[in-house]
Amino acid sequence: MKMSEVMEARTALLEKEKKVYLTTVNQINSQMGGLLQKDLGSQFVSNCGRDLAGELVRTFFDTTDYHITADQLMRRMLEFSYQNEYDPLGNNEEIHKLIYNYNDGPTSSTLNNIMTDLEQSKTKLFEKEKVVLDNGKTKSSYKDRGIIQKGKKAYRDQKTADQSGVEDEFTGKAESKSQNSLGFDVSNLDVDHTQALSTAYVYNRYLKEGGEERIREFYNSSENFTMMNKTANQSKGDVKVFDKTGNDITHRATPDQLADAVVQRWENIKGEEARGKLVEGGYLNEDGKVPKSVKAKLTSELKKSQNGESRTILKETDYKAVSKDAGKHAAKSLGKIVGGQVIYYTMPPLLYEMKGIMKDKHITLDNALTKLEQAGKRICKYVVSKLKNIFQGIAQNGLKTFIKSFFDILINMVKATVKKMIRLAKNLVLAVVDAVKIIGDKSASAAQKADSVFTLFSVTLTTFTVEILFEYIEKQFAIPEPLLLPLQIISTIICTNFSLLILQKADLFNVKHGLLIANIEEVFAKENQRYMDEVRSLSDSYSHDVERKLLEIQEETTEIARNLMDINLYQDSVQSDLESISEIFSMGIDFEKEWLDFLEVAN
Amino acid sequence: MLNRLRELSDKFLDSAASKVQSFTGETERRQLVARLKSIYDDIRMRLEEQILHINSAIDIFNHKVGELNQYRVSTVQKNITNLGLFLCQFGSLKHVGNFQSEEKQERVVLPRKQFEVVESYIDHVDWSKDDVFSKTFFKSVFGVRRETLKLNVEATTRIGELELSGERSIELAKWKEQCVNEDIEILDMYQHSVKMISETIEEKVIPEMELIQAFLQCDQIKNQVLANQEIAVKENGDISLLTGTLHHKHFQFIKNTFMFFLLSSKIYNTPVLTNLMNNEKHDQERNEVLQYKEMIAEQQQKLHSTRIS
């Protein structure tokens, strides 16, 4: 044994330590690079892509009631492991996905059932009957003509009592009167029902007793009356609005749709005399077009009337009946809600286990069965550990489906601005339900909860605003029907992700910052610990090795000392013992050569 | 009533200030600076303590090296002279060469430059109340928040780096102490071997040399008588002729004496221990242990390259 081996062990130890340190530094560098690199652009594109995939499946394949999107489920299945699972339902990640789920697409079975229920209970508000006139002729007239005439008279009297006098509310022209063939004064202005009685319907299913009568009274109140040119009034008579498939949707048409239909009717009026009267009355200009101011007034009056009607409907609604039907729809969706939870919690571990078994190249039938049994136990254990989450998920999603159905019934009963307000209320109430879940999450900090709730409400309002904006854009640019829904989905996703990006960047509650700090600390703690463990292991191994080497050398020198003590210099050679000392301490003496040199020089 | 109102308003202002400081990251910055200082103090203290241990071991080593050198210039040199005078009658001895002393080790000093870098960084992030006020005043709450949060990320990284490099320095210092203790053990073994050789020479070789010399002279006279030559004491001739004869034992003694002479000469004219500890490979190790400051600086530079600016 040479003493130089001890030195070499020392050098080797330091070289190894240097390698461990460099590896640690490289690991830290690479992980820090990942943490500090903020590629918001690709994050935005990636999120939009995933959201689009999820939303297209949800909208066109009616998967709303599963309360998990296809892209989330796919990612969970691909990335699942028992130690580190992607769990968007368990934690408060991807809040915006919850918000997308607040509104259903056209394929939604729940929404279609609601519409069917409403259509089945739809009844005409004003029925007509044949009336025999004084001259013996018959005429079709409303059964409620009494309240109709009374309402009209009251309105005209009210207008006449005004100091400014009676005037056309659409053109501002003063009333003019002429005598008819019987010598009576006849006005050129009619008291017009803004929303025509012929297209007035109610959904009896959800009205309180006497509600229908209140709505009928509304239709003959000042809120549904305007002073209009007689010719204009007569010519718009039974104007109707149809959807793209030809269904009559006049009773639920928007103010803009109704105004468009009336404007078209006026612009295409037949007969020169009637056209001349409309031009004279200010309803058509010289080019035969309805002036913008007239159309705007018409839209505004329709909106006012529809809002008034909606308020009356809401007052007269039997909310118990609405709740009962909402409960019925939620119960129908229960299968999908439970299915969603079961798939979410059982499929990913199942696929994970299958993947593990399939990857094993040495699998045989016998050990496959054993492994399957073990895998089954692991899956059961995992699912049992998630039972609380499953039941909470079912309860919460059931409640949300109930709230959605409740509001969807109301939304489809009302019109105009009130409809939008109830849509907003629906989104906010659903956001509150989600916020309660977020606030109740014991694993999140106060700042995280505040951040999640703030994001939830911000994105809720953003999506609602986008929805309203999209209605405006749709009207302004006449987007073709097939493109409408995809465009709306895309614009909602882009705006939502953009607002999320802004919120993420603003990080008002320092949550992202806190997470970054925690991650940096974790990287250093983990790598420092790894470095120290490896270095201590190296040190232990070195100490043991050097101790052994020094002991061997100690034994060797002791042996040499014993030999020298006992040696007879006349008989024994000391050369091997001295050579050993030379070797131990790397003296580099060639005893034999030196001896020969000594003798040769002598000769 | 007024006092109560004042207390309430103080509470409200304190609470508002706390919220603002939390929002701007000021609270976190203070905590990080306190942590940075504490880690720095801890590492410096532990390293200073470790360096004391190393230097204490180096002092022992150096004292023993002094003793060894003293032994070599006194006892070993005397033995070489005695053996040389005896051996030169039987052959020609090479020049022994000058005495070369074994080198002492340099004491280790604290890597001050490294600590100065950390101290300078602490000064940079340890804002006074005036600093905080002026930054908030000139940059607004949002401006100062952006700067503070960025600084907090950097400070967290620095803390991690300091912990890693500090623990490494302490670990290397522990190794250095262990190496010096091993060097002492090796020195002891070498010293023991040197003494063992010298004592054997003194006890078993030198007392026999006169006898051997007398015998060889008698043998020479006997041969001169037999050859009827004039009797005269001359230098001894070729001792290899004694091999295989009745006088082989004298040849063996001379050879053994020569071996002792060779080893003693090497011990005298070569700093065996210094060479052993400073050989080519060991030089590298020695440099690394002694200059671990530079290594840390180099690695830290690498770490800094990924730090956000």
| ipTM of this predicted structure | 0.79
The beta-carbon neighbor of A591 closest among B204, B259, B307 is B259
pLDDT of amino acid A328:
95
Choose the mutation target among A36, A517, A536 for the interface with B, i.e. most B CBs under 10 Å.
A517
pLDDT in tens, A101-142: 898 888 888 999 999 999 899 899 898 888 887 788 888 888
The answer to whether residue A305 scores a pLDDT higher than 80 is yes
A–B interface: beta-carbon pairs under 8 A: 197
pLDDT of amino acid A547:
93
Q: For A460-468, what is the mean pLDDT?
A: 87
Lowest mean per-residue pLDDT among A570-574, B56-60, B282-286:
B282-286
pLDDT of amino acid A512:
81
Q: Under an 8 A CB cutoff, do A510 and B23 touch?
A: yes
Q: Under an 8 A CB cutoff, do A585 and B273 touch?
A: yes
**C-alpha span between A549 and B20 (Å, rounded):** 64
Measured between CA atoms, the residue of chain A closest to residue B166 is: A528
Distances (CA, A) of B210 to B76, B82, B92, B205, B213: 20, 11, 19, 10, 5
pLDDT of amino acid B281:
46
Distances (CA, A) of B247 to A570, B240, B243: 10, 11, 7
pLDDT in tens, B49-72: 999 999 999 999 999 999 999 999
CA angle A135, A137, A142 (to 5 degrees): 110
A547 contacts on B by Cβ (under 8 Å): none
Choose the mutation target among B154, B180, B250, B256 for the interface with A, i.e. most A CBs under 10 Å.
B256
Q: Please, what is the angle between helix B129-200 and helix A511-566, to 10°?
A: 10
B252 contacts on A by Cβ (under 8 Å): 569-573
The answer to whether residue A586 scores a pLDDT higher than 60 is yes
Nearest to residue B239, comparing CAs of B92, B54, B138, B72?
B92
pLDDT of amino acid B297:
57
Q: For A168-184, what is the mean pLDDT?
A: 83
**Side chain identity at A216, as an amino acid letter?**
R
pLDDT of amino acid A397:
92
Choose the mutation target among A593, A598, A600 for the interface with B, i.e. most B CBs under 10 Å.
A598
The answer to whether residue A358 scores a pLDDT higher than 70 is yes
CB A548 within 8 A of CB A37: no
Q: Which residues contact A303 (CB under 8 A, 6 or more apart)?
A: A255, A416, A417
The beta-carbon neighbor of B249 closest among A531, A570, A589 is A570
For chain A, the 3-state helix, strand and coil shares in percent, each to the nearest 5, are 70, 5, 25
Q: Under an 8 A CB cutoff, do B153 and A521 touch?
A: no
pLDDT in tens, B204-232: 999 988 888 777 777 777 777 777 666 66
Measured between CA atoms, the residue of chain A closest to residue B203 is: A565
pLDDT in tens, B179-204: 999 999 999 999 999 999 999 999 99
For chain B, the 3-state helix, strand and coil shares in percent, each to the nearest 5, are 80, 0, 20
The answer to whether residue B144 scores a pLDDT higher than 90 is no
More confident call, B106 vs B13: B106
Nearest to residue A329, comparing CAs of A396, A395, A408, A428?
A408
pLDDT of amino acid B236:
59
Q: For B256-264, what is the mean pLDDT?
A: 94
The token pair that represents A316 in the structure block: 């007269």
The answer to whether residue B37 scores a pLDDT higher than 60 is yes
More confident call, A580 vs A43: A580
B205 interfacial to chain A (CB closer than 8 Å): yes
B94 interfacial to chain A (CB closer than 8 Å): yes
Q: For residue A438, is it left (φ>0), alpha (ψ between -120 and 50) or beta?
A: alpha
Bridge partners (DSSP) of residue A207 are A317
Lowest mean per-residue pLDDT among A162-176, A575-589, B100-114:
A162-176
For B:214-253, CB contacts with A below 8 A are: 238-240, 249-250, 252-253
More confident call, A145 vs B142: A145
Of all residues in chain B, the percent with pLDDT exceeding 70 is 77
Chain B nearest CA to A75, separation (Å) = 30
> HSE (CB half, 13 Å, CA atoms) of B52?
6
Q: For A377-400, what is the mean pLDDT?
A: 93
pLDDT of amino acid A425:
94
User: Positive or negative, the Cα torsion across A362, A367, A369, A375?
Assistant: negative
Chain B nearest CA to A305, separation (Å) = 48
pLDDT-based confidence at A258, cuts 50/70/90? very high
The beta-carbon neighbor of A29 closest among B238, B270, B302 is B302
Annotate A34-59 with b (16+ C-beta within 10 A) or e (fewer). ebeeeeeeeebeebbebbbebbbbbb
pLDDT in tens, A309-324: 999 999 999 999 999 9
The rounded mean pLDDT for chain A is 88
The beta-carbon neighbor of A546 closest among B182, B189, B205 is B182
Q: For A246-257, what is the mean pLDDT?
A: 87
B270 interfacial to chain A (CB closer than 8 Å): yes
The beta-carbon neighbor of B279 closest among A4, A508, A582 is A4
pLDDT of amino acid A603:
47
pLDDT-based confidence at A602, cuts 50/70/90? very low
DSSP assignment letter at B103: P
The answer to whether residue B132 scores a pLDDT higher than 70 is no
pLDDT of amino acid B309:
37
Q: For A447-471, what is the mean pLDDT?
A: 86
Q: For A170-174, what is the mean pLDDT?
A: 88
More confident call, A253 vs B24: A253
What secondary structure does DSSP assign to B186-219, as a single string? HHHHHHHHHHHHHHHIIIIIHHHHHHHHHHHHHH
pLDDT of amino acid A452:
86
pLDDT of amino acid B287:
58
Lowest mean per-residue pLDDT among A14-18, B56-60, B86-90, B299-303:
B299-303
The rounded mean pLDDT for chain B is 81
Q: Under an 8 A CB cutoff, do A531 and B284 touch?
A: no
Measured between CA atoms, the residue of chain A closest to residue B189 is: A554
For B:132-161, CB contacts with A below 8 A are: 149, 152-153, 156-157, 159-161
Q: Under an 8 A CB cutoff, do B164 and A28 touch?
A: yes
pLDDT in tens, A200-230: 999 989 999 999 999 999 999 999 999 999 9
pLDDT of amino acid B19:
67
Hey, is A2 helix, strand or coil? Answer: coil
pLDDT of amino acid B308:
42
Quickly tell me which residue has 């696929």 as its tokens: A351
pLDDT of amino acid B245:
73
Of all residues in chain B, the percent with pLDDT exceeding 90 is 39
Choose the mutation target among B263, B280, B303 for the interface with A, i.e. most A CBs under 10 Å.
B263
Choose the mutation target among A7, A28, A509, A539 for the interface with B, i.e. most B CBs under 10 Å.
A7
